[in-house]
Amino acid sequence: MNILIATSEVTPFSKTGGLADVCGALPGALKKLGHTPVVFTPGYRQVCEAGIELSSTNVTFEIPIGSKVVIGRLLKASMPESDVPIYVVDQPEYYDREELYRAEGEDYKDNCERFTFFCRAVMESIRLLELPVDVIHCNDWQTGLIPAILRIEYQHARGYENIGTLMTIHNMAYQGQFWHWDMLLTGLDWKYFNWRQMEFWGNLNLMKTGLVFADAISTVSPRYAHEIQTQPLGCGLEGVLQQRREFLFGIINGVDYSIWSPEVDPYLAANYSVDNWEEGKAACKQALQRRLGLPEEPNTPVIGLVGRLADQKGWDLVAGVMKRWVNSQPVQWAILGTGEAAYHEALKALAKERPDRVGVQLEFSNPLAHQIEAGSDIFLMPSLYEPCGLNQLYSLKYGTVPVVRETGGLADSITDASDENLSNGIANGFTFEPYDADVLELTLRRACDVYLSRRDTWNTIVETGMRQDWSWEASAQRYVDVYKQVCQQRVVAVEGAEAAQ
């Protein structure tokens, strides 16, 4: 099957979160299953500076955006490891910027325009490259216009008739909402600006657009697929999803173990596997403590956190527990993140108060993210919601026991160390349900107690997690099943339209 994956970020070219990891790994997994994926992504500064050679394709675009015509060109590279072709939409005015979506705490004002251009460039490239495409796999609001443009403008164009679309939701809270006049930028008729299609409470909503026009919808875990059909996690689009539930699938993300495995990770002080993890982790823990300026104490539990400093990730609960614990509980905190200023300040203050217990780096650092995964004993993810979450899956492989809130993909992947689950040999972490600092504190205490005084049980939990297989193979096959269903639907739709003529 020929699969075009359109994405606004992709590892190792550009990344702000899990979307990049997914789009970096899924193409290779699809190729291994015998399919032919290609990836399209914008030519951000990060992409051009990733150290991977970009070659020219001779394809240029002249795309109408509102009342102007914007010129761009298409470059090409290969995804490292898998060799899957990646096409890069080059338009320096839109993409040659410091960050992907925002600067100094504010979204770029022309985001609608930037991603409209990207979507139209993808659609034109199919024709200009004569690319065979069965399915376009769109990801998040940045690509939400593609299913609409395909159905409205390209439906009957040669080479496009049978193309199906899948829209994947990586995070429902980011919907690409813009004021209504941005409708002019999309080039689509105002008649589509209605509450059943592109409009949402007076605004243009590009996530909704994708959900309405795509042949099928998926999201990144079965639990989240349920959660977004209700308030509050549907973020206002729960009704749209309920209506389309027959075509809504939950497929958990996989892990790229060529990047996220302690056996091969180049950033670690020592590589290790389930057979020698105790020595390996001890070396990584010591290196992490040294790097973060924490005392090198082998038996003090290290609690790691890596992620965007956004409300979603439960930082208010974390800050609450840290304030209570920092002078009372002998644990160390290893924290990496960037985001909202209030959390930066709170974490900086805690690190200043107890530099011997709190190690914080407020930046984006891929090597340190790997080192925290390996060097911590516990990995904390008390998210308010979590579509899939990748860090808990990485933690399992690194022998770092996840403590998570039961939501979305966290609930689908982590099994609490209750007596029953332990005796069934399936416990791989600690979980709690109410979004509450007291409950988080109790759960963390439970984890620390097992670590400190029931070492055999702890080791069993670690090894259960390390032995699990969350690789892409099974998830990629699920995507293929959905792609097939999408194609089948398209064939039926096209045959139906022809019969009606």
Neighbours of 234 (CB within 10 A): 16
User: Could you count the other beta carbons within 10 Å of the beta carbon of residue 298?
Assistant: 9
Helix (H) or strand (E) holding 119: helix 111-128
Q: CB neighbours of 260 closer than 8 A, spacing ≥ 6?
A: 370, 373, 393, 394, 397
- Residue 391 in the binding site for ligand ADP (CB under 6 A): yes
179/364 with CB nearer ligand ADP: 364
For the bound state, the minimum distance from the C-beta of residue 381 to ligand ADP, rounded and expressed in Å, comes to 8
Burial state string for 452-470 with b = 16 or more CB within 10 A and e = fewer than 16: eeeeeebebbbebbbebeb
- When asked if residue 336 is in the footprint of ligand ADP (CB under 6 A), the reply is yes
Q: Is 258 in the site for ligand ADP (CB under 6 A)?
A: no
Query: Could you say which of 306, 411, 462, 482 contacts ligand ADP (CB under 6 A)?
Result: 306
- Does the footprint of ligand ADP cover residue 338 (CB under 6 A)? yes
Judged by beta carbon, residue 27 or residue 72, the one nearer ligand ADP is 27
> In terms of CB distance, is 164 or 210 closer to ligand ADP?
210
Q: Of 49-57, 183-191, 302-310, 344-352, which segment contacts ligand ADP by CB under 6 A?
A: 302-310
Site string for ligand ADP, 339-368 (x = CB under 6 A): -------------------------xxx--
Residue 389 found at the interface with ligand ADP (CB under 6 A): yes
Strands (E), 231-312: 248-250, 302-306
Q: Which is nearer to ligand ADP, 262 or 307 (CB)?
A: 307
- Sole binder of ligand ADP in the list 176, 280, 307, 408 (CB under 6 A): 307
CA separation for the pair 220, 389 (Å, rounded): 9
Helical ranges in 231-356 per DSSP H:
238-243, 277-291, 315-325, 341-353
Interface with ligand ADP: number of residues (CB under 6 A): 17
Q: 3-state DSSP call for residue 234?
A: coil
Task: State yes or no: residue 369 binds ligand ADP (CB under 6 A).
Answer: yes
3-class secondary structure, 78: strand
- Exposure string for 3-34, b = 16+ CB within 10 A, e = fewer: bbbbbbbbbbbbbbebbbbbbbbbbbbbbeee
- Taking the complex as a whole, how short is the minimal distance between the CB of residue 370 and ligand ADP, in angstroms? 8
Among 18, 262, 280, 304, binds ligand ADP (CB under 6 A): 18
Those residues whose C-beta lies under 8 Å from the C-beta of residue 407, and which sit 6 or more positions away, are: 223, 227, 383, 384, 385, 386
Q: Which is nearer to ligand ADP, 38 or 225 (CB)?
A: 225
Give the residue with the Cβ less far from ligand ADP, 391 or 413.
Answer: 391
Residue 402 sits in the site that holds ligand ADP (CB under 6 A): no
Q: How far is the CB of 391 from ligand ADP (least distance, A)?
A: 5
The single residue among 146, 390, 440, 447 that binds ligand ADP, judged by CB under 6 A, is 390
Closest CA relative to residue 62, chosen from 3, 140, 122, 121: 121
Q: Among residues 169, 181, 157, which one has the least CA distance to residue 210?
A: 169
The CB-of-107 to ligand ADP minimum distance in angstroms stands at: 16
> Minimum CB separation from ligand ADP for residue 124, in Å?
29
Q: Measured between alpha carbons, how far is 60 from 71 in angstroms, rounded to an integer? A: 7
Pairwise CA distance, residues 450 & 461, whole Å: 10
Output 57 or 338, the one with its CB closest to ligand ADP.
338
**Interface with ligand ADP (CB under 6 A):** 17-18, 21, 306-308, 336-338, 364-366, 369, 388-391
